[in-house]
Amino acid sequence: MDAPAGEPWPSEPGDAVAALYDRFAPALYRTARTLVGDTLAEDAVQETFVGLVRARVAVTDLENARAYLFAALRHAAAKLRARGGRERPVPPDDLLDLATPTTPDVGRAAELERALQSLPTEQREVIALKIDGGLTFAEVAACLGVSPNTAASRYRYAIEKLRAALGGGRP
Amino acid sequence: VTPDPLPPDLLDLERKLANRPQPGPPVELRARVLAAVSRERPTPRAAPVRNGFARFAAATAAAALLAINLSASLANDTDWHLRPTGPDSAAVADRIRELAPDLSDREARRQALLLRASAGLTPAPRPAANSFLRDRESDRWDTP
């Protein structure tokens, strides 16, 4: 969670988006990367904030903003996919720049990323929102428009499928 | 929601996912997003200024039309029939009594007033005889 609950909304509208960006952009960008890949992640994040202004959403506090932003990000990602932007898995080479891990770590991270990108969109969404976005199951459910139980079971199934893709067993 | 706990191997995978190296948003993305947002956000004073200009233009056009209209009226010495013209109602009543002696005085005055009123029902402006827009020759013959 990037924002404390109930924190007041910035009074100046010009500062509001900047404040939102500073708080939520890292989590949104991580989520967007998992949803649409490296190239389109920036577009998805931009569309999310532009949509916030375009819709003139009355956001009373940062908690409401967080819920709105992640739901908007999901819609923006879906729109980018529908527009024909091909999802591009995160290139394993990009992971070399992230830190200075040992070679086996890089290999494992790249393998994990590839497995994640191979998941169906529905399952990748739930993992992105839960792990990269840091949302609770209730928040994930609200974003996806499903019940919290459905979100939780979908998440578990996605993790199991990811394990299988990594060669760790069923299904 | 408290879902069933994940088995250890899935918990381990979940932890690996959460800890996998991921880059943060590029530094330039912040400026790009804020620029896009500012382009999208309507300028607060844009609408009132545009509205104010439109109203000013409309008022100016209306004033110009009114000034042209009044100037033309003055130049033509237009008669707006604002004051009653012709013989007064008493003379008309006398004339009516001469023509119809059996009418009472009251009825004759009433008919005289009606005639005067009906005579003023057409307030169409009539250019005066010295109008530069009207042929003076025809003005001489247009009265029955």
Tell me how close the Cα of A147 comes to any Cα of chain B, in angstroms: 10
pTM of the predicted model over 0.80: no
Which tens digit of pLDDT belongs to each residue from B34-75? Answer: 999 888 776 655 555 567 888 899 999 999 999 999 999 888
pLDDT band, residue B2 (cuts 50/70/90) = low
CB of B41 within 8 Å of a chain A CB? The answer is yes
Q: How far is CA A57 from CA A51, B7, B43, B120, B121, in A?
A: 9, 41, 17, 64, 61
Backbone angles phi, psi at B139, to 5 degrees: -60, -30
- Are B36 and A50 an interchain contact pair (Cβ–Cβ within 8 Å)? yes
Tell me how close the Cα of B70 comes to any Cα of chain A, in angstroms: 50
Alpha carbon dihedral A147, A148, A152, A158, in 10-degree steps, equals: 40
Q: What is the DSSP letter of B7?
A: P
Least confident of A2-6, A95-99, A151-155: A2-6
Q: Is B117 exposed, middle or buried (0-12, 13-18, 19+ CB in 10 A)?
A: exposed
Backbone angles phi, psi at B79, to 5 degrees: -95, 115
Fill in the amino acid letter for B100: A
DSSP chain B: --PPPPPHHHHHHHHHHHHS------HHHHHHHHHHHHHHSPPTTHHHHHHHHHHHHHHHHHHHHHHHHHHHHHHHT-B---S--SS-HHHHHHHHHHH-TTS-HHHHHHHHHHHHHHHTS----B--TT-TTS-HHHHHHS--
Tell me what the pLDDT averaged over chain B comes to: 79
Residue that is written with structure tokens 């010495």 in the block: B77
Alpha carbon dihedral B13, B19, B23, B29, in 10-degree steps, equals: 90
Which tens digit of pLDDT belongs to each residue from A34-50? Answer: 999 888 899 999 999 88
Q: Which of A31, A40, A50, A130 to mutate to test the interface with B (most CBs of B within 10 A)?
A: A50
CB of A155 within 8 Å of a chain B CB? The answer is yes
Which tens digit of pLDDT belongs to each residue from B100-126? Answer: 888 888 999 999 888 877 776 655 666
CA distance B138 to A61: 82
Q: State residue A104's pLDDT score.
A: 58
Residues 95-114, chain A, touching B (beta carbon < 8 A): 95, 97-99, 101, 108-109, 112-113
Q: What is the ipTM of this complex?
A: 0.74
What is the length of chain A? 171
Backbone angles phi, psi at B43, to 5 degrees: -65, 125
